[in-house]
Amino acid sequence: MSSLSGKAAVITGASSGIGAATARMLGEQGARVFLVARRADRLKNLSEEIGNGAAYLALDLGAENVAEQMLDAAMAELGNVDILVNNAGILRTSHFEKFDLAELQPMIALNYTALVSSSIIFARHMKEQGSGQIINLSSIGASVQAAQNGIYGGLKKAVEVFTECLRIELAGSGVRVGIVAPGTTSTEIFDDMKLKGETGWDEYIPAMVPEDIARAIVFMCQQTGHANAARLHIYADNEGF
C-alpha cells in the first residue's frame, strides 16, 4: 500500500500541465484529489479520469478571499486535507520598455497573493489537526537574473522567501513545507508568449515535461518520519544553469 493511500490532496492549477500531471500521480498513489482551476470542463474530465472520489472546484484564484472558500469546499468533499500543492501561475514577460503594466497586478494576485493566502489558511488548519504537507511551486527563474525575467523571477523569489519562513514557523508542528523549483517545462504557461508572436522559452531551452515535475512533488509528499524534503530543484539533464 502506498504511503499516500487515503490522503486528501488539494492541487491548484490542476486543469493542465504540472497540476494535472500531479493530480494523476497522486491519484495513482491512492490519494483522494481535489482539483482547483478556472476551467470547469477540464476539471470535470480529469476528475472522472482519476476516479477514487476525485472532486473539483472551478475558481479564479486571482480573485480576493478565495482561500477560505477553497478549504471549505475541499473539507466538504474530502472530509480533511493532508496535502496542498500550490501550482497555479501565469507568465507575462517582456523587456521593461514593452511590458504591459495592466498585466502586473493579475500576475501578482495569482503567482504570489493566492499562494500566500492559501498557504496560511491551510497551514492553520493543518497545524490544528497536527499534520499536513504544503508544497509551493517556485521556478529556477527565482535564481536567474536575466533580461525579461525581473517580474516573474522576482515573484518566485518572494514565494521562496515566504515558503522558507513558513517552514520554520511550522517546524515541530507535524506540518511539512517545501518548495519545488522546476527548470523549463513545456506547458501552457508559454502560450501567451507564443500568441504574441514571441518564441516560448520551451522552444529554445531544453524542456522537461509536466510528469518530470509531478514525480518530484509526489516524492516530497512521500517523506515520512522526521524527514522533510524542503527544497527540490528539477533541471533537464542537459540544462546548463
3 contacts: CB under 8 Å, gap ≥ 6: 29, 222, 224
53 contacts: CB under 8 Å, gap ≥ 6: 32, 78
Q: Are 42 and 108 in contact (CB under 8 A)?
A: no
Q: Which of 112, 152, 204, 235 is catalytic?
A: 152
Dihedral-angle region of residue 75 (phi above 0 means left; psi in -120 to 50 means alpha; beta otherwise): alpha
Q: Are 239 and 205 in contact (CB under 8 A)?
A: yes
Q: What value, to the nearest 5°, has the Cα angle with vertex 12 and ends 108 and 228?
A: 95
Name the CA dihedral angle for 88, 177, 152, 18, rounded to a multiple of 10 degrees: -40
Would you call 204 a catalytic residue per the annotation?
no
Distance CA 11, CA 14 (A): 6
Q: Identify the DSSP state of 11.
A: E
Q: Could you list the active site residues?
A: 152
